[in-house]
Amino acid sequence: MTLSPTTIAPLAIHGGAPVRPAWLPYGRQSIEEADIAAVVATLRSDWLTTGPKVDEFEQAFAAYVGTKHAVAYSNGTAALHGACSAAGLGAGDEAITTPMTFCATANAVLYQGAKPVFADVRSDTLNLDPVLAAAKVTPRTKAILPVDFTGNPAQMDAFMALAAEHGLTVIEDAAHAVGAEWQGHRVGSIAHMTTFSFHPVKHLTTAEGGMVTTNDDALATKLRTFRNHGITRDSRQRELAGDWFYEMSELGFNYRLPDIACALGLSQLQRIEANLARRRAIAAQYDAAFASLPQVVSPKILPDANPAWHLYPIQLELDQLSTTRGEIFRALRAENIGVNVHYIPVHLHPYYRQNLGTKPADFPVAESAYARLISLPMFHGMTDQDAADTIAAVRIVVGHYAK
């Protein structure tokens, strides 16, 4: 590539001035006065947990994604655990999922005593490959857990067809994908169950929190019971009935999301479309800026997908660079650009290697991508200058190391 005059100056990692004076994280929450007021109002109410705000948040979220039921959980991992329980996963069962995800996806299968079975990802989207997943189905397979990696929807029509053929439950891990769409249908309305996360770096936050959506009445009942110790009625239901009686019908967990968090979620949900629009605008800026940079590969989006852009991961063409991904990573952070890496493939973690016998080279597409991935800052509170600084830093750093 031809270097511009700005690329001649030394990089910050080599003692030069950074692109920006202040740190730009890869993601962060956006809290407005309306959010604070909503939380304060709930703090002044009679209910801090298992109260009316939980029902309100669930109903509003279900309406947003276009599904019958939404069941709030204390975090996204708890939501995954609840979904795996509702699907009936247990000892001797298997669930097919992707190695290109945060470990919570596969961990939730283990929590139920079942075995996660990995299949490799597509080389373009880095989502679970439906063809490779189909090849992993056995008589022990009970569920499929596709992940909407970075907020880019998985091929849900293919997974639902595979599930129908073999009598499986599809649990879509949409922790990254609030507001995303596949074939014109909003994520959360397609799979048998879909799980979401409301961590601060997500599209809306409840500080910690999660949700499971479903159109199945029986699954919704199981999800609600599981999050409340396996008890059939919560304290507000007993209060409204003027009764004290309850029964524990199964072994459950305390995975409830309090009213304080739900009040914050309700307030944030009102801005979800604006948040999505902002993230999509930033992604478009990145796409345009890196289209002419041969050392950088931008995310691939299939025609049927409308992504939510939780993350914007680039892949480095290392054969066109004179250094490693690690050095590029450190150089960008020295420019005050808070890049990150998502994710170390799950099968490479020590626990999985020691307990499931997974090993390097088991899933070459995921491993090849991991070696080249860097996540750029992506959050709806970013300004145009933040995006411009990120673009400038990538150009300068990549230009410095370009062959």
- Please give the order of strands across the beta sheet that includes 141-145: 69-73, 210-214, 193-197, 169-173, 141-145, 94-97, 115-118
Q: Coil, strand or helix: which one is 87?
A: coil
d(CA 145, CA 78): 15
Q: Left, alpha or beta for 195 (phi > 0: left; psi -120 to 50: alpha)? A: beta
Dihedral sign for Cα atoms in the order 352, 353, 359, 360: positive
d(CA 345, CA 363): 9
d(CA 146, CA 96): 8
d(CA 52, CA 262): 9
Q: What tokens appear for 162 in the block?
A: 């595979």
| Beta-carbon contacts of residue 205 (< 8 Å; ≥ 6 apart) | 29, 198, 199, 264, 265, 268
Q: What tokens appear for 176 in the block?
A: 């990254």
**Active-site positions?**
202
Q: Which amino acid is at 76?
A: G
- Please give the order of strands across the beta sheet that includes 373-376: 296-297, 312-316, 373-376
Dihedral sign for Cα atoms in the order 291, 293, 298, 300: positive
